[in-house]
Structure 1
Amino acid sequence: MADWDGRGLPPVAAERVRRAAAGGAWTSLLSAPAAAGLTDAGFDPVGEVMGSIVERIGWQGYRGCGWSPFGGAYGGYGGTAPTITSSDRAAFSGFAPYVAALEHGYGTAMSRLVQEAAAIGADGVVGIRLVQDRMEGGAREFTALGTGVRARSGTRPSRVFTTALPATDVAKLVRAGWMPTDLVYGISVAIRHVDWSTRQQMSWGAGNVEVTGHTELVTRVREDARHRFTAHVRGTGADGAIVDDMALATWEVEPAENHRDLVAESTVFGTAVARFHSGRAAPSRTLTYLPLR
């Protein structure tokens, strides 16, 4: 087999698509209720699709938190340290390349999933699971896995829609006059030096007090992730978005002796949606898909 040049689908994926496009039995990740709900909403499953990429992510461009023991604009002994996000253009902001690498990993996995879906004649992919797994040597695998579906209609969409929503929720949306368009996300990383006031608030005997520096850090990083999420939604041209998952991870780094920084990473994932009817009343009811328990 010839070496793959990185363009298009990997050879193994291309062969899997060829077999799926040739016909025969299809596979899906749908539960029985999900498949029934999609069928009633006018969609048929056409096959399981996926996309993946293994990417090595380093810390190129990292220049610390901006704190200096000699004072100045970025604080000193007894001063208040700034919170710097990956979207800031400050001189010491060094996480933009890291966030760009994460976005490239997720984006490439999604792009290859969409290529597979289009190749087997799908109009959309539902129930997408977007996963990031760490590997040896600083590498990470980004994987997108979902079920391709095709509308029972003579009119085909201009591009494949994608959503992390389960198929039952997609059926409810469609029956209510809304259409998922894109799986969207926002990612931000922020850093803040553990300054004097933060150390005092975290010291033994401080009591039950708010650690204001950490509050500012997690608030800023979540705010920036939501801003990036909103920008992604606007870029799709959709009317709005349904947030599917919000996560926050924090860790501490010690770039030098007696110098500790706290890093926070925030992610927001969801589905952009567009309305396809103009009336106030929905074209149909969704009671059929509510669990009768």
Structure 2
Amino acid sequence: MLTTVLRYEVGKVLGAMRRTPGRRGAKIGMPPPDRARMAFDERERRLAWNGKGLPPVAARRIERARGSGVRTSLLSVPASVAVESAGLDTVGEVMGCVVQQRVPPMMLTPLSLTVDYRPYVLAWRQGWATALDRLREEAARLGASGVVGIQLTRQPLTDLTEEIVALGTAVRDPAAAARPRPFTTTLPGTDVAKLLAGGWAPVEVIVAVAVTGMYRDYSLQRQTSVFAGNIEVDALTALVTRARSEARRDFANLLRRSGSDGGIVSSMSLEMLPMQETTAGARADILGTGIARTTRSAPAGTLKIMPLGNGRKPG
């Protein structure tokens, strides 16, 4: 009895699969292909993106945001209130993204006992600049005056590729004309409000990168051996000190190029690159915001002693 029931059920399933409409040569039971979707994908492939401006998907997302009228924000509640108190309206969240290949450092000067990391540094700088430019373009398309609270992240995808992302909240000053180049800052909304109240304004995000390297000579190998004990590795001390110094110099140069009157450092980091058989390297990063004066009058100084009386001397 059970065998008969099973045969009956299997026969019904096979009959339904044979009756399923589909093109000739298609597998039994497979749904017909979505020709509209295939045509859409073909159009997407034909409209090849040349890498300039926003990716097509990002451009469509911004157009939907403009048409919907819905304002989104990545700011916290205190930061949102502070931004509104400074006269800025939240427009929406914006993002810039780039995936790039990380070329290994090129040892171009083997006779000078140094390692040339310039191609490595240029690739990192170009990645940060591209992500920030795309974020700024999204903000400009939304009619924003600037972007606050920007978060910069980089994440390796494979052994030779990494993703760099810039994410922030676009804001607009309704009392000012639209800017052709919106300002960018890593400062949160509360700090931006204090900055504007003090006669300063953010200009742009500054990302300074420096990588230094050296060849592992006999002295370095001896100091890093298991038999050296707890001693200072003076060669590596000099290496990381030089990396930080070059990052500070790069930060100052970028501030001058942006036309800023000063800069606020948000973070400083240092990491040792994987030590190779014959080389060692260190990378230093400085992330900050260039700022410019909006008023030349100095703000009132803080009183060290505040009188509590009515100003009259006691009789």
For normalisation by structure 1, the TM-score amounts to 0.82
**Percent of aligned pairs with the same residue?**
41
- Provide Cα deviations, 1:118-166, integer angstroms capped at 9, x if missing partner: 0001000000011111012511111110000001314344420000111
Q: Which residue of 2 aligns with 1:109?
A: 131
Which has the larger strand fraction? 1
2:296 is aligned with 1:278: yes
CA contact (8 A) 1:175 1:282 kept: no
CA contact (8 A) 2:116 2:213 kept: no
**Matches of 2:109 and 2:274, distance apart in 1:** 12
**What letter is aligned with 1:66?**
P
Give, as a single letter, the amino acid of the residue that structure 1 aligns with 2:53.
Answer: G
> CA RMSD for the aligned pairs?
2.0
Q: Please say if residues 140 and 180 of structure 2, whose CA atoms lie closer than 8 Å, have aligned partners that are also in contact.
A: no
Matching of residue 197 in structure 1 with residue 241 in structure 2? no
1:197 deviates by 2.2
Partner of 1:6: 51
SS of equivalent residue, structure 2 residue 241: helix
Q: Which residue of 1 aligns with 2:162?
A: 140
Q: 2:248 aligns with which of 226, 233, 237?
A: 226
Q: Judge conservation of contact 2:128–2:207 (CA < 8 Å) in 1.
A: no
1:1-293 pair list within 5 angstroms: 1=44, 2-59=47-104, 62-63=106-107, 66=110, 74=112, 82=113, 84=114, 93-204=115-226, 206-254=228-276, 259-281=277-299
Q: Does the 8 A contact of 1:17 with 1:119 survive in 2? A: yes
What SS does the aligned partner of 1:169 have?
Answer: helix
Gaps spanning 5+ residues in structure 1: where?
A: 68-73, 75-81, 85-92, 284-293
Distance 1:144 1:282, change over 3 A: farther
Shift of 1:37: 0.2
What letter matches 2:219 in structure 1?
S
Structure 2: segments with no counterpart, 5+ residues:
1-43, 302-315
How far did 1:194 drift? 2.4
Amino acid at match of 1:278: R
SS of the equivalent of 1:22 reads: helix
Deviates more, 1:177-186 or 1:3-12: 3-12
d(CA) in 2 for partners of 1:154, 1:107: 26
Aligned-partner SS, 1:198: helix
Once the two structures are superposed, residues 199-249 of structure 1 have per-residue CA deviations (whole angstroms, 9 ceiling, x without a partner) of 333344544432110110000011111111111111001001001111111
Higher relative contact order (CA 8 A, sep 6+): 1
Q: Is the 8 A contact 2:139 2:182 kept in 1?
A: yes
Looking at CA atoms only, which structure, 1 or 2, has the larger radius of gyration? 2
Larger fraction in helix: 2
Figure out how many residues of one structure are paired with residues of the other and give that number: 257
